[in-house]
Chain A
Amino acid sequence: MPSPHHASVAAQVLSVDKELKPHFLRRTLHADGATLTIHYEASSVKLLRTSVNGVFEQLVSVVRTMIAFPALE
C-alpha cells in the first residue's frame, strides 16, 4: 500500500464484514507498516476464489475512495 495509513484504513474497513460461511472459510487482515496482509484458510478452491474476488473489489473501492478524498489532519 502507498503508506502505513492506507494499509491501516484498508485493514480496518475490510475487517468489518464477516465471511458468510465461517466453518468453510476464514479470513484475517492486518496492517504491518505499509503492507496489508490478508490470510485465508478455505476448505475449497472455489470458495477461496469467490472470496478473494470480493475482497479485491472492496479493496479497489477503499483505495479509490482514499485517492479521491485524502485524509484530513
Chain B
Amino acid sequence: MPRIALGLEGSANKIGVGIMRHSDDGSVQEVLANVRHTYITPPGTGFLPKDTAVHHREWILPLIQQALNDAKITPKDIDVICYTKGPGMGPPLQSVAVVARTLSLQWKKPIYGVNHCIGHIEMGRQITGATNPVILYVSGGNTQVIAYSHHRYRIFGETIDIAVGNCLDRFARIINLPNEPAPGYNIEQYAKRGKTLIDLPYSVKGMDMSFSGILSFLEQLVAQNTIVEAADLPNHTTPTPTAAPAKPTGKKGKKRPAAPMPRVYTKEDLCFSLQETVFAMLVETTERAMAHVGSDQVLVVGGVGCNERLQGMMADMCTQRNATCFATDERFCIDNGIMIAQAGLCMLAGASPPLEMHQTTVTQRFRTDAVYVSWRE
C-alpha cells in the first residue's frame, strides 16, 4: 500500500504544508501538494516570535485544506502526520505542533516529530538524486556543513555565532531593503548591479565560520559613511574619497592623525561585497569537508541555497575538483512542509517509532546529529 504523509512546517516565518506519497517499496516518491505562506514585515524590521505564531495560526488551516485539494485526497487517505519538532523559534513551532497533535487525535493517525535540518537534507536528496553528498545547509537560522556516516548526519563545520542568512537578513535591515519577497532575494538583486569589491573581514576558522564580526563591521561602516542607491549617484559612478586636511599640531609638536572623511558607498557595492565574502567562506569550508571525506558531490539546501551566485561559486569549485554540485529551486530551498513529510516517511520506512502524545513537544535547539538515521545504511 502506498504511504501518504502530511507535513507541517513553521519554525521561522514561513508556514508550509506538504503532502508526499511513497510507493510501498519506496521506489516511487511523489510530491502531491506543497503550499506555503510567508510572514513579511516592513523594511528595517525583522519577524518577532509571538507575531510569527499569530500569523501561522491564521494561515495553517486554510493551507492544510488547500493541500488536500491540490493532492485530491481526503483526511482518511493520510497515513502519518509529520510536524517540525525543531530547531527554530519557540512560539511558531508550538503553534504548528498544537494543530498537528489535534489532527493526530481527530484522524487517529500516528505522529512524527521531524528535525528541520534533516527535512532539508532528505528533500534535497530526493529532488536532486544526489546519493551521498557533502551538504551545505545555509539559511536564516542555520549554517552547517554536513556529511553522512554510520546512521548520523555528522556536522563537519558550522557557524560559531550567527547563521549566514541571519547576517544577510540583518544587513538588509540596516540598509532598509524590503523584506518582500525575502531580504536575501533583494540583496541578491542589488549585488548583481554592484561593481566595486569593498574589503570586508573574512572569517573562516578551520572547519567553522564566523559571521557576526562581518555584520558589526558593516554596521559601523554604514553608521560612519554615506550610503546611497547607485541610481542616485551623478553619472552612476562612486566618487573617489579625498584626503582629510591636516589638523594643527598638538602638545610637544605632535601632529594628530587625520580623521577619515566619510565616504560614499552604494548599496549595490555593499551587497555585492558581502555576498562575495560570505559565499567564498562557505565554498572554502565545503571544499575542506569534501577533501576530508573524499566526496565528489555537494548538495546545497536551505533558503540561502536559492542564491544563484552561491550556486555558481559552488559549481565553479566543483568543476575544479571534478565534482558535481546539486541545488534545488525556491519550492524546496525555502522552508516548506513537503520536506517534513518526506523526512517523516523516511523515518517510517526506517522503522523509527512514532511519538506518544506526551512526546510531541517542540524544542528551539535540536542538533542535526541527534537523530538516528534509521533509513540509510
Contact = CB atoms under 8 A, between A and B. Distances in A.
B61 interface: yes
Interface size, A (range): 20 to 34
A65 B99 contact: yes
* Interface SS of chain A: helix
A26 B360 CA distance: 20
A69 B105 contact: no
Contacts of A65: 61, 98-99, 102-103, 106
Interface in A16-73: 16-18, 57-58, 60-62, 64-66, 68-72
Given A16-B357, A16-B361, A17-B361, A57 B105 contact: no
Interface size, B (range): 20 to 34
Q: Which of B97, B99, B358 has the largest number of chain A CB atoms within 10 A?
A: B99
A62 B104 CA distance: 12
Contacts of A16: 97, 101, 357-358, 360-361
* Interface SS of chain B: helix
B193 interface: no
A58 B98 contact: yes
B102 A9 contact: yes
Given A16-B360, A68-B65, A69-B64, A61 B99 contact: yes
A12 B25 CA distance: 34
A69 B107 contact: yes
B108 A66 contact: no
Contact of A69 (B98, B103, B357, B360): B103
B331 to A, nearest CB: 25
Interface string B319-358: 0000000000000000000000000000000000000011
A66 to B, nearest CB: 6
Contacts of A1: none
Given A9-B106, A71-B106, A61 B357 contact: no
13 contacts: A9-B106, A12-B105, A12-B357, A17-B362, A58-B94, A61-B95, A64-B61, A65-B98, A66-B102, A66-B106, A69-B106, A69-B107, A70-B106
Given A9-B106, A61-B99, 18 more contacts: A13-B357, A14-B98, A15-B358, A16-B101, A16-B358, A17-B97, A18-B361, A58-B98, A61-B95, A61-B102, A62-B98, A62-B102, A65-B61, A66-B106, A68-B61, A69-B61, A69-B106, A72-B76
Shortest beta-carbon contacts, A-B, top 4: A65-B102, A13-B101, A68-B61, A9-B105
Interface of B: 53, 57, 61, 64-65, 75-76, 94-95, 97-99, 101-103, 105-108, 357-358, 360-362
